[in-house]
Structure 1
């Protein structure tokens, strides 16, 4: 074993200084931001077609609402470029503070936005603009949140430490669906559509303040401090990623496709299918998603830790293959219109997602050298979102309509997504924790070929 590898192993004995605080900060920050994003996701399926896109055929209104939903994903690369560049030039901390504020303000304004009956076409127009702001913020948030926990944590256990930011989406989804479930259970449908849904959006103001208090107390990551000390900050990180890391960028981006589409299926489209095709209530669907998200809180860090012990790419690829096999089974399970089977099926589906999403942050970030991690990770994450989560609800709806309410085309779509992600695993590289160790010891970490 080389001296560098011995040093890398030595740091595993106990959590590095500040690692636990950074883990909590990364988890809580992304949880708060994805709460904002998640309430929009649910509202786009259940509320917005009725109050922001009225006067259309029900199917057309749903497509318009999902198109507005997609804007948030389409805007993510903008955030990835802007904040990815800043994250590698000025540091992780201050970028994360700004993204938190941006998403929080946009979400509160959506909650206060008059609907179509009050201000006409201006309502959906402003909604799209605010969704754009949300997407830009999330596009810059993810890369920094991942680096916050992973660069404080043990590089040999990057799967676990990086999972902090990955817990954010299901935690945020759990909070969002919990709030919406309470509102739908306690209010009439008329009251919920009139003002009840706004409560969930406006409540995010309190959550953002809480998140800001935590993030403002953080220090910059040790890895970025070392890059600063070496005078090795890139002048044009975005350009450098495209010119020197094309294979890494492609591998990291493809890794996102299957988990993104799978998540959209179980947190957005299932709400449409179960209510319209199976006749279940909104409360039934929200409860199923709520339970599935609760399981993910434990499965995501478990999956991340598992890939620190076993080959990360193999665990990830096996989960992608299992997803392709499971989707037909899921739809067969719920044809009996059983709420219990819907819940069990959703839990299993989100568990498969967890075994890809848990190690995803580690896989993506370790494709890039430390000095380009924020830009590279953000670009891969956001660009993949455009072909994954952004269009998934629209494609699901179109395939559902084309198949006359059938699910077969949706299963084929998931199969293709699984193959794409497996290709990403084959193109990617395995972890090289010694690169961070060399950097921290005072020598430049060189990216693998």
Structure 2
């Protein structure tokens, strides 16, 4: 087990309960705004971007191309994880989080100003791709920093709960994005929404970022990073050291996340395309279902995070994965009923299974890496999996339905992805009782008893 800076006699910055709460609140608000920006693009890709930026193609192909530009953000996220993870491990977590918030907000605001294909031709989708790439860079560095700050500031016995609060930023951001779009959709005509209404949520991002930035500037640096800095033990090339010292942790983090990501983007994003394109229902039906499901997740994610502090990360995570795999085969038949109440129920249960995975996920991934490499390792494990999971999920789902004529193939795809997650959890260590001061969590004798 590694020796901490505290035991070597270095002065250590202590985190008080009030400062820990401030960090958690700042992380929650910051990640909510970042995910609002990211999900807003995905919702707009499902609803309007195909028509506005790829009008020369038929409807389904245009939507597919819009989702391809959406996937660019996922490709950029690992690069953002590398860049900002390096500086997060070298110069500290706090300043990096300020930069990522500014980058994400500026890119999202600019999307709201991009002319459509009808105005500037092919330059329009090119600009869209560029700004989506910048969004991905920002989010690639955001997640790791927000989660790590919550974990490193908080009580060691409540790491699952503390780390779950930035995770709540995902449904909060999704709720905000879907809510704003739903309100505009209800207030505006189809032509007004397509003409200018869709731009309003993107432009609102500029105001929201100012609020998030003010809150984030009030927090202090991580006390565990301060230990590393004061001991002179910072990594020179964090990414290289992650690959050398934590290959197991990196693989486990990636594999455990893939199924979670595929399930989430199927249940919360592809549903919009399926309901409008395949079932021919109004887009308000899908938006309302995602809105209500995300609202339930606000309470469920921290509840499952807290549960993982009591019974362990792996059992809670595995139960969520198994439940999501089973529900994937009930999800689309329930949507096919066309009954709005049934569609809402199907979405709420689907997102509840995701919450069971997502609640313990943040602490689980962060705990796989030592403090001096934690930002780089956690960011890389989380973001690389996003390419294989969330980036491809809507595209693969559209193609599967197009090729087979049935959503059963999509359910099978979700099952395969979740089996990868379950295999990763089977071989993973139980991390909930690890000492975060350890130099190498993979070598601390952590429990590897099977789920």
**Which residue of the partner structure matches residue 271 of structure 1?**
272
Indicate whether 1:344 and 2:353 are aligned: no
Q: Which residue of 1 aligns with 2:314?
A: 313
**In the aligned structure 2, how far is the partner of 1:376 from the partner of 1:181?**
37
Aligned pairs for 1:20-39 (under 5 A) are 20-39=21-40
How many pairs align?
431
Question: More deviation in 74-83 or 325-334?
Answer: 325-334
Aligned to 1:144: 145
Q: Which residue of 2 aligns with 1:247?
A: 248
* Distance 1:227-1:328 versus aligned 2 partners, 3 A rule: same
Tell me the equivalent position of 2:426: 426
Alpha-carbon deviations, 1:307-341, whole Å to 9, x = none? 00012101111211111111111122222210101
Secondary structure, in 3 states, of the residue corresponding to 2:390? coil
Distance 1:270 1:370 in 2: 39
User: In terms of mean alpha carbon deviation, does 342-351 or 427-436 score higher?
Assistant: 427-436
> Structure 2 CA distance, aligned partners of 1:227 and 1:155?
18
Report the TM-score when normalising by structure 2: 0.93
TM-score of the pair, normalised by structure 1: 0.94
Q: 2:355 maps to what in 1? A: 354
The reply to whether residue 413 of structure 1 matches residue 413 of structure 2 is yes
Matched-pair contact (CA < 8 Å) for 1:87–1:95: yes
Cα RMSD (Å): 1.5
Aligned pairs for 1:231-246 within 5 A: 231-246=232-247
Aligned to 1:10: none
Q: What residue number does 2:208 align with?
A: 207
* Alpha-carbon contact 1:17-1:152 (below 8 Å) kept: no
More divergent stretch after superposition (267-276 vs 65-74): 267-276
Between stretches 385-394 and 332-341, larger displacement belongs to: 332-341
Mapped contact 1:171–1:293 kept (Cα < 8 A): yes
**Counterpart in 2 of 1:127?**
128
Write the mapping of 1:55-134 to structure 2, written as runs, cut at 5 A: 55-134=56-135
**Alpha-carbon shift at residue 434 of structure 1 (Å):** 5.3
Aligned counterparts of 1:427 and 1:41: Cα–Cα separation in 2: 33
How far residue 446 of structure 1 moved from its aligned partner, in angstroms, is: 4.3
Cα distance, 1:435 vs. partner?
2.2
Q: 1:229 corresponds to which residue?
A: 230
Looking at structure 1, the residues matched to 162 and 21 of structure 2 have their Cα atoms a distance apart, in angstroms, of 9
Q: 1:448 aligns with which of 421, 431, 442?
A: 442
Task: Report Cα offsets for 1:355-388 as digits up to 9, x if no partner.
Answer: 1011110010011111111000000011100100
Between the aligned partners of 2:134 and 2:215, the Cα distance in structure 1 is 23
**Matched position secondary structure for 1:114:** coil
The Cα shift of 1:267 comes to 1.9
In the aligned structure 2, how far is the partner of 1:92 from the partner of 1:193?
40
